[in-house]
Amino acid sequence: MQKLPKLFIFILGIIFAINLIQSYFTDLIFDEAYYWHYAQHMAWGYFDHPPMVAFLIKLSSFFFDGELGVRFMSCLLSIGTLLFIWLVIDNPKKKDYVLHFFVLTFSMTLLNAYGFFTLPDTPLLFFTAAFLYVYKKFIAAPSILLSIILGLIMSALMYSKYHAVLVIIFVLISNIKLVLNKYAWLAVFVALLGYLPHFLWLYENDFVSVKYHLFERPNRAYDFNDYTVGFFLNLLALFGLTFFWIYKALWKTKGTDLFNKALLYLTYGTIIFFFISSFNRRIQTQWIIVISISLAILAFNYMLENENARKWIFRMGLVNIVLLIFIRFVLVFEEIAPIHYESHGNKEWAASISDRVGDTPVVFENSYRNAPMYEFYSGKTSFSLNNVMYRRNQYSIDDTESKVQHKKILYVSGYLKKGDIAVDLPKQKKGFGVYMNDFESFRKLRAILDESEISLKNKSDITLKIYNPYDFDIELSKLKYKVAYHTQYKRPEEIVPITPVPKDANITLLKAKDTVYYSFKLPPFKMENPGYFKIAISENGLQPGMNGDNIKLVN
């Protein structure tokens, strides 16, 4: 281990303290509240992501309560990320430019933000930096110990976020001779072994995460400005005013050794992959965040050898930092904020509902964001009841639904025109809540069709299977059935009721862990050229849920 300069340790300590203070005074953002909900139901996987983010929150909760109980481990990991970036740079000049190193890294927008926010990208950044550090040692002198460590880190990378596969693949492609290296195969074996619990979780949960991200996620028509131009703007947004010199460092760096080659492949590979993807969907800035690690290394090495780059990155980096510090204050103090941000007023919002409803559980319609935020700040039971006009999420697969069954609840929706109480809802401005004395929902009922695609001209009967995964029986009279027609981009647009014919008219009860069989015909629709449909079940007069998979409609 290299001896760290005192100035490096001092600045690193200051950044850690700043992030702790920021974590304490900043309300959770909605995604953090959602991942906090993950951590209340520890598992080897979750609907949207692997479990690392939940594990970090659970660890944080052992040390602190409140926001720090969500973010403490992120503050530690962000310090570790900077440390690994520093250690992987072996230019002896670096000890003379410690301040430049921190100006470079602290001025990177998302690298700065994930210094305290707890999101899947936080461990992704840390383990990417750790992976590159160990990989550099591995290619210099491979050994069994390094293979095991590298394998464990690769496993941790994949437990952080599925995008981590790009890091591993592009580094492997940069050194294709690794396919003949027994130590590399040992690392792969260790990684797969470590990742086995998540594979098993995916299998046991019908590969729900894979299906959602690859096949179910709604999209929309290609928009050049929003998709492709937006992608390039995201590349600039990662680095703010230093982007020119950082990308110049990338352009000027040559793959003269295996490690530099790995950095180049990782950076260019990620950029090219998401550039191609931008012709299909909108690319979010955090999807490309791993290049912050590789470009921090490349840019700092370039700064050490190029005085002009060193001067301008330092100057523009300081301007970035001033802007980022202002944004950090804005996150805490709404009165100086030009806009209302999602970290503003969450405690007061939760209290405004909790004070009126007491211990009555609150069921939010179509909001995996509001439900955990309310529960975190009120300490009261909450649930997101997702219907067919929304999307599935963690509330669709965990046991939270059971906590509100047959209880008096407040049902909150932004679509209600009146109710028992008025409720402020983010982005929807106003909603209403209505009390339900004996709430009962069956959102886990599965509507199964054998076909994966059906002709729009089909006039024949279609067999429908309704499976009850619950450990209790359900009266069939409580269920109504719908066909939800979706656009070519899997967005729901029209809901049409159907009356499927039961195979056995004498069955009135759907028994626990059992299946009933129906037949139905596709109902007529008004929308133009539907691309998909799914079966939706409405129970007890509630809005229909997402009970079936998307079935493709063909001409």
Percent of the chain with pLDDT over 90: 92
Cβ-contact 161, 120 below 8 angstroms: yes
Q: State phi, psi for 485 to the nearest 5 degrees.
A: -85, 135
Mean pLDDT of the chain, nearest integer = 95
**The pLDDT of residue 298 is above 90:** yes
DSSP for 143-193, written as a single string: -HHHHHHHHHHHHHHHHH-TTHHHHHHHHHHHTGGGGG-HHHHHHHHHHHH
Furthest CA-CA distance within the chain: 85
Alpha helices in 175-282 (DSSP H): 182-204, 208-211, 230-237, 243-252, 258-277
CA atoms within 13 A on the CB side of 430: 6
Which tokens is 348 given?
């007061």
Which tokens is 207 given?
């590969």
Q: Which residues of 361-379 are buried (b: 16+ CB within 10 A; e: fewer)?
A: bbbbbbbbbbbbbbbbbbe
Confidence (pLDDT) at 2: 73
Confidence (pLDDT) at 209: 93
The CB density around residue 192, as the number of other CB atoms within 10 Å, is: 14
- Say which residue, 193 or 3, is predicted with more confidence: 193
Cβ-contact 125, 114 below 8 angstroms: yes
Residue appearing with tokens 């703010």: 240
Q: Which residues contact 370 (CB under 8 A, 6 or more apart)?
A: 30, 364, 384, 412, 425, 426
Q: What is the CATH number of domain 446-554?
A: 2.60.40
Q: Which of 149, 123, 129, 126 lies closest to 138, judged by CA?
A: 149
pLDDT tens track for 397-448? 999 999 999 999 999 998 888 999 999 887 657 899 999 999 999 999 999 9
Cβ-contact 396, 546 below 8 angstroms: yes
Q: State phi, psi for 534 to the nearest 5 degrees.
A: -145, 155
Cβ-contact 288, 271 below 8 angstroms: yes
CA–CA separation, 249 and 257 (whole Å): 16
Q: State phi, psi for 173 to the nearest 5 degrees.
A: -65, -30
User: In what helix (H) or strand (E) does residue 431 lie, and over which residues does it extend?
Assistant: strand 429-436
Percent of the chain with pLDDT over 70: 99
pLDDT tens track for 362-399? 999 999 999 999 999 999 999 999 999 999 999 999 99
Cβ-contact 508, 477 below 8 angstroms: yes
HEC states along 272-303? HHHHHHCCCCCCCHHHHCCHHHHHHHHHHHHH
DSSP for 371-418, written as a single string: HHHHHHHH-S-EEEE--TTS---GGGTSSGGGGGTTS-EEEEESS-S-
CA–CA separation, 104 and 309 (whole Å): 11
Confidence (pLDDT) at 23: 97
Confidence (pLDDT) at 428: 59
pLDDT tens track for 5-29? 999 999 999 999 999 999 999 999 9
Residue appearing with tokens 């590399």: 184
Model confidence band, residue 220 (pLDDT cutoffs 50, 70, 90): confident
Which tokens is 77 given?
């990991």
Which tokens is 529 given?
């050229």
Domain ranges of the chain: 6-334, 346-436, 446-554
Confidence (pLDDT) at 1: 61
Total residue count of the chain as it appears in this document:
555
Q: Which of 438-442, 456-460, 506-510 has the lowest mean pLDDT?
A: 456-460
pLDDT tens track for 82-117? 999 999 999 999 999 999 999 999 999 999 999 999
CA–CA separation, 485 and 459 (whole Å): 17
CA–CA separation, 429 and 140 (whole Å): 58
Confidence (pLDDT) at 216: 83
HEC states along 324-373? HHHHHHHHHCHHHCCCCCCCCCHHHHHHHHHHHHCCCCEEEECCCCHHHH
**The pLDDT of residue 483 is above 90:** yes
CA–CA separation, 74 and 79 (whole Å): 9
Model confidence band, residue 458 (pLDDT cutoffs 50, 70, 90): confident
pTM for the predicted model, two decimal places: 0.94
DSSP for 7-37, written as a single string: HHHHHHHHHHHHHHHHHHHSPPPHHHHHHHH
Cβ-contact 201, 159 below 8 angstroms: no
Q: What is the mean pLDDT of residues 205-209?
A: 92
- Which SS3 state, helix, strand or coil, does residue 70 take? helix
Quote the DSSP letter at residue 72: H
CA atoms within 13 A on the CB side of 176: 1
